[in-house]
Amino acid sequence: MAKSKYEYVKQFEKDDSLIPNTWLVIRLDGHGFHKFSDRHQFEKPNDHRALDLMNKCAEAVMIEIHDIILAYGQSDEYSFILKKESNLFNRRSAKIVSTIVSLFTSNYVFHWKTYFPDKELQYPPSFDGRAVQYPSNNNLRDYLSWRQADCHINNLYNTCFWALVHSGKTENEAENALRGTISSDKNELLHSSFDINYNNLPEMYRKGSVLIRKEANLMTLNQKGVEVIRKKKVVTTSHVDIIHDKFWKENPELNVSV
């Protein structure tokens, strides 16, 4: 069979491996999730089940890809941090990005019915992804701060917007009411008009979700059938500040000291 005659076409594949010793960030974003959330009547401004499902998918990705040390998610996006030393797929960019996006997507459809037992999935959703390299711990910290600051800004805005809409305004009127306001204006609006203390809203909405691996005590039976405690790293989810130093000091095993 004239296989060899065609094999030269493999030479057109370029090496897209990322340089060693940089933090790799893989960020994925929902594709057309405005429409997707409408079609599935997600609650506004935040749908708890939809966010839980996102977190479940991120956890599944972390369980599969051991080199991910931290994942951060908000809204319809998720960032996965691969450790500097990672040699996953020889650091080939397309392979890393496509595998993580595929795993995430697959889990999203697979686990949908668990999080939305009363709501049929109307059509298959999709995500896109990209890889970014960060040379220093400071750069990585600033990347994560950027995403968490973005989460806060968007959530404060959306909380106001949907409070106005739910109170009877049109979407246009709500938009106009918020134009030019700063954070303190929005906090005040929530407080005075809707009796909402923004800081009492669920932390998942205000801070997003942070997944890391922590050592946990697992109860198992040994060979003699006696209960024993075994230490194991498990993926844990929390909704904490990752902009300030506290989180990083409490989790020194992440090796992101600055």
Q: Which residues lie closer than 8 Å to 254 by C-beta, 6 or more apart?
A: 69, 70, 212, 248
- Rg (C-alpha) for the chain, rounded Å, is 22
- Contact with a second copy (CB under 8 A) among 123, 168, 222, 231: 123
* Structure-block tokens of residue 176: 């106009």
Site for a second copy contains 149 (CB under 8 A): yes
Nearer to a second copy, 113 or 166 (CB): 113
Q: Is 130 in the site for a second copy (CB under 8 A)?
A: yes
Euclidean distance between CA atoms 105 and 30, whole angstroms: 9
- Enumerate the β-bridge partners of residue 8: none
Q: Does 24 bind a second copy (CB under 8 A)?
A: no
Q: Which stretch binds a second copy (CB under 8 A): 73-81, 127-135, 171-179, 190-198?
A: 127-135
Q: Which is nearer to a second copy, 11 or 217 (CB)?
A: 11
Q: Which of 130, 134, 50 is nearest to 84 (CA)?
A: 134
Applying CB under 8 A, the span of 15-23, 200-208, 231-239, 248-256 interacting with a second copy comes to 15-23
Q: Assess 221 for contact with a second copy (CB under 8 A).
A: no
Minimum CB separation from a second copy for residue 53, in Å? 13
Q: Tell me: does residue 247 bind a second copy (CB under 8 A).
A: no
Q: What's the CA gap between 237 and 239, in Å, rounded?
A: 7
- Residue 1 found at the interface with a second copy (CB under 8 A): yes
Residue in the block written with tokens 């080199």: 67
Nearer Cβ to a second copy (51/140): 140
102 makes contact with a second copy (CB under 8 A): yes
List the binding residues: 29-34, 75-76
Least distance (Å) from a second copy to the CB of residue 7?
Answer: 6
- Residues within the interface to a second copy (CB under 8 A): 1-3, 5-17, 19-22, 28, 31, 60, 84, 89, 93-95, 97-99, 101-111, 121, 123-136, 139, 142-143, 145-146, 149-150, 152-153, 183
